[in-house]
Amino acid sequence: MLRSGHESNQMLLKTVRERPGLSMYELSHEIGWKIGRVDGCVRRLLNTGRIRIEAVERNGRRTNLVFPRSKKDPSLIEVPTNLLGNPHWMNEAFLYALDNVTIGISGEPNDEWKSGACFTERVNLRRHRKKISLNLPERFLRFYHLDEKHKTVALNGANILVTISGDIIQSKKYPS
């Protein structure tokens, strides 16, 4: 039983690292386990400090999202380069506050987004082996309350869309 629990923990931890921010229900579907098995692994991994949980409000309901232990900077946006395919992603990115829940990010100026944006910024882009990254400016962090909200990063063609969703109402991690 102990060995089986360890193997289950490792499999769940691998999935959480590959797909951070899934709910326990989403994890159960991803791995093909019953929710009780996922819950048991989550509790063991939480107690050993290998994961953390953020409780967010989604459609009026509380949902626990599971993340690897380390918490990334809320301003950090990272995207695998092989998914972008746009030759215009060079050394800078163009950010657009499209509405109160959406940030548009492009590798080149986007006149359509600019005309409807609340405000825009240009930021430096960093290239790593297989991904690009950037930090959202303070103005975006304050406007979207990113230290208190959950964000989802998605691709729309060669552009990045960041959707800000429910409030993080509680964060759980094993005390250091």
Instruction: Output 155 or 97, whichever has higher pLDDT.
Output: 97
Q: Per-residue pLDDT tens for 146-162? A: 877 778 888 887 899 99
22-36, 115-129, 154-168: lowest mean pLDDT where?
Answer: 154-168
The parent domain of residue 39 ranges over 2-70
Let me know whether 80 and 162 are in one domain: yes
Q: Kindly state whether residue 176 falls inside one of the protein's structural domains.
A: no
Tell me the percentage of the chain whose pLDDT exceeds 70. Answer: 88
In a domain? residue 126 = yes
Alpha carbons 170 and 167: distance in angstroms, whole number: 9
The answer on pLDDT for 176 being more than 60 is no
What total number of domains does the chain contain? 2
Q: Give the mean pLDDT of the chain.
A: 84
Residue 34 lies in a domain: yes
Q: SS3 helix, strand, coil % of the chain, rounded to 5?
A: 30, 40, 30
Of 70, 94, 120, the one marking the end of a domain is 70
Residue 55 and residue 34 share a domain: yes
Tell me what the mean pLDDT of segment 63-91 comes to.
79
pLDDT class of 30 with cuts at 50, 70, 90 = very high
Query: Is there a domain that residue 175 lies in?
Result: no
Residue 110 shares a structural domain with residue 164? yes
Alpha carbon separation from 171 to 56, 57, 92, 118 (Å, rounded): 9, 12, 33, 30
- Rounded to whole angstroms, the Cα distance separating 122 from 124 reads 7
